[in-house]
Structures are given as C-alpha cells and as structure tokens.
Amino acid sequence: MSRLMLGRTLERICKAVLLLCLVHFLIMMILYFDVYSQRFDIFSRFNNGRGVNSSRGPHHYYYNFSRPNTTFASYLATADHLLPSTKPEANHTPPTPKPLPPCPEVPPGLVGRLLIEFSSQITLERVQRENPNVTEGGKYTPPDCRPKQKVAIIIPFRHRDNHLKYWLHYLHPVLRRQKIDYGIYIINQLGEDTFNRAKLLNVGYTEALKDAEYNCFIFSDIDLIPMDDRNLYHCYDQPRHFAIAMDKFGFRLPYAGYFGGVSGLSKKQFLKINGFPNEYWGWGGEDDDIYNRITLNGMKVSRPDVRIGRYRMIKHERDKHNEPNPQRFSKIQNTKNTMRKDGISSLMYRVVSVKKYPLYTNISVEIGKPPPRPLKG
C-alpha cells in the first residue's frame, strides 16, 4: 500500500514538473518571437529610410534602448550616417539671375515741375537719410533696370559748402528718379589764387575716369538747381546744354551761343574738342570758347524745351579771386588757333587728396597760377 502511494506521488510530481517545463517552453517561445519581430521591424525601417528610391517621404528612425549602456546621445553619434544627407550635390549650380531690362527712355517716376527754395536749413545728415541707396562717393545705380550710360557729374568748387548741401539735397532724388547710373565729383581748387572753372572741369573728367569707366560727363555749377526732373541728365547725340532758362536771365536764353551753367558731353564728344580750355583764369569766357570748339568740330548744341530747361540760382556775392577775366574777349576770338594745343592734351595739375564721402567724392587739387598779364603801353 505504501508503495502504491509513493508511486502515485512520484507520478504527480513528474506531471507537475512536465507541466512547468511546458509552460516555461511556451513562455520562452513567446519572448523569442516577440524580440525577433522587434528586431525585424527595426532593420526594415532603417532600410526603408536609407533607400534612395523610397517614395514614402520623410522617415522616423528607431533605436533599441534595451541595449546596455545606451543613451540617445550615443545613438545620434553612431547613427548619423543613417540620416539623409543635407549637403548640396557637388555639381549643383545656383540659378542664373534674370538680366535686368534696359531703363526706359522716359522713366515713369518723374514728377515734372519742382518747387525749389533755399530758405530751409539743410544738413548733410538729412540728405543722407533721404537717399539711403546712394553709396560711398556719391554713387548710385538703378536696382531695377540697366542704364545705357554711366554718368560722371563734375562740379568745380571752392568755398561753397552751403551751396553744396542744397545741390545734393535736390539733385540726388532727381537723378535717382531719372534712373541714372551716376557718380558725383566735387573738384576743389586749393589756395586763393584766381579761380579757373574750365581747368577744374578738365581735372574732373580725368580723375573720374580713374575711378570708373564713365562714358558721359555732366558739368554743373554748384549754384544751379533744375526746376523740372524731365530735364534728363544723360548724354545725347550732340553736346547738350541743360541750363537754358535761368531765373537770373528771366527764364530765357541770354544769347544763341550761350553754353554756361550746366552742360553735358559724351566721352567721344569731349575728346573731339580736346576738352575745355585751361587758360581762362577768372570769371567768364570759357563757356563761349567751349561753344566755339563744338561748332568748329562740326557738331551742334542740343537743348531741352524751354519749359523743361528752367533753373533756379542760389543767390550769392561773386567770389573773391574770381573777378571778370579782361582777356576773355580776345581769347574767344582765337579759339580756332588755340583749341588743339590748349585743352585736355595739355592739362597739368596735382592731386592733393581724394576723399569719398557718403554723398559725393571730393578731389582737392592744385592747378597753378595764371601767367603774368602783359603790361599796357
């Protein structure tokens, strides 16, 4: 009896052990397939993310954080090569910018007649704020079109700082509306010897060409302001006289051969007349000599309509050491004989300094002294 009881007990123990083994086996199989499926899912996601021709769009990458001593930082350090490259291809070239159209013959932003007054106080700081697109040296290029000409504006100068502020205040906005590619050059005669306007203009032509490849030159007195922005500051087929109707002359041309105040010549036209005369010391005569040079070389002076070519002059007393030149009348009559030897080809001067300010370029020069006048008798 005792043996029978012992045998049944052993049978039950064996069945229990067998059942436990079976349960253990089932648990192990479940865990095995679960881990296997996770590993398979990880590798399939990585492979899909790395596929060159994958069409699923952006992928999210996964990492098994059950590995010992694993952190997200270490994953980033080891899995960077699995992420899509953000570097541009070696043969990628940026798109070619679309070329600008030519600037229109008549810019659309012109306003016509301008109100010009000299009672308000003007500072260079204010002018600079009003013209933020003007770059160092007083240069400007239209951002939305391609001008046909590059224009240097030459101003003979001495002791006219207040006039300069007004000129810059009015002219910078006008020139920008006219879509002119320009640079402004103030040619300052040093010393207190007799003033020589035409020689300073020759200096301005020469020095401007050292700074940029200009093909048009506008020569302007510092005290003349245009009253209409339709008076376009560029060069024409013939030498141009802009200031044809000044207020001091009752807004009329004083005489047919007048070429003073503001004028313009292309580089080719300027060289054809050998530039301007260097021997007109003091006030008057040089503009008539220039007119003679133009007509003697087979060219004609072009002018705007009298309603557009109106100018207002800043009133002032005549400068010291710029008294009327008593020899001007005899020199004008002799232009034909002197223009080949007196001009840009015979120009002599010395540059003392070149300073580029926000609104203009200042070139200070020494141009010598007038020759002694012959004694009367």
Q: pLDDT (tens digit, 9 = 90+) per residue, 8-46?
A: 777 778 777 777 777 777 777 776 665 445 544 444 444
* Active-site option among 181, 279, 286, 288: 286
Q: Domain containing 174 — which CATH number?
A: 3.90.550.10
Measure the CA–CA gap between 43 and 128, rounded to whole angstroms: 65
**Half-sphere exposure in the Cβ direction for 101 (13 Å, CA):** 5
* Within a domain: 175: yes
Could you tell me if 244 and 287 are in contact, meaning their C-beta atoms sit under 8 angstroms apart? no
pTM (two decimals): 0.74
Query: Is 316 noted as a catalytic residue in this protein?
Result: yes
Query: Is 281 noted as a catalytic residue in this protein?
Result: no
* Active-site option among 288, 313, 339, 342: 313
* Active-site option among 221, 279, 288, 342: 221
- The model's pLDDT over 187-205, given as tens digits with 9 standing for 90+, comes to 999 999 999 999 999 999 9
Of residues 358 and 74, more confidently modeled: 358
* Active-site option among 56, 81, 92, 318: 318
* Active-site option among 283, 307, 321, 323: 283
- The model's pLDDT over 122-144, given as tens digits with 9 standing for 90+, comes to 999 999 999 999 999 999 999 99
* Within a domain: 237: yes
Provide the 8-state DSSP code for 309.
Answer: S
* Within a domain: 207: yes
Query: Is 221 noted as a catalytic residue in this protein?
Result: yes
pLDDT at 16: 77
Task: List C-alpha distances in Å: 164 to 139, 186, 306, 334, 368.
Answer: 16, 9, 25, 34, 24
3-class SS at 163? helix
pLDDT over 50 (residue 60): no
For residue 334, name the pLDDT band (cuts at 50, 70, 90): very high
* Within a domain: 22: no
pLDDT over 60 (residue 167): yes
Query: Is 223 noted as a catalytic residue in this protein?
Result: yes
* Within a domain: 47: no
* Within a domain: 355: yes
pLDDT over 90 (residue 6): no
Task: List C-alpha distances in Å: 95 to 92, 99, 100.
Answer: 9, 12, 15
pLDDT over 50 (residue 360): yes
Query: Is 211 noted as a catalytic residue in this protein?
Result: no
Looking only at the bridges linking them, the beta strands covering 310-313 and 350-356 are unpaired
Looking only at the bridges linking them, the beta strands covering 181-189 and 350-356 are unpaired
* Within a domain: 10: no
How many independent structural domains does the chain possess? 1
Query: Is 286 noted as a catalytic residue in this protein?
Result: yes
User: Locate tokens 């004028």: which residue?
Assistant: 263
* Active-site option among 160, 163, 197, 223: 223
pLDDT over 70 (residue 2): no
State in Å, rounded, how far the first CA of the chain is from the last one: 175
pLDDT at 73: 42
pLDDT at 220: 98
Query: Is 313 noted as a catalytic residue in this protein?
Result: yes
Q: In which domain, by residue range, is 181 found?
A: 128-316+348-366
Looking only at the bridges linking them, the beta strands covering 262-266 and 240-241 are antiparallel
pLDDT over 80 (residue 300): yes
The chain-wide mean pLDDT, for the chain, equals 84
For residue 72, name the pLDDT band (cuts at 50, 70, 90): very low
For residue 326 the two structure tokens come to: 């008593």
Query: If you average pLDDT over residues 145-155, what whole number do you get?
Result: 97
Paired with 124 in beta bridges are none
pLDDT at 61: 37
Over its C-alpha atoms, the chain yields an Rg (Å, rounded) of: 42
Beta-sheet strand order (sheet of 310-313) = 224-226, 310-313, 245-246
- The model's pLDDT over 241-290, given as tens digits with 9 standing for 90+, comes to 999 999 999 999 999 999 999 999 999 999 999 999 999 999 788 999 99
Query: Is 339 noted as a catalytic residue in this protein?
Result: no
* Within a domain: 174: yes
* Active-site option among 279, 287, 289, 342: 287
Range with the poorest average pLDDT among 55-69, 120-134, 308-322 = 55-69
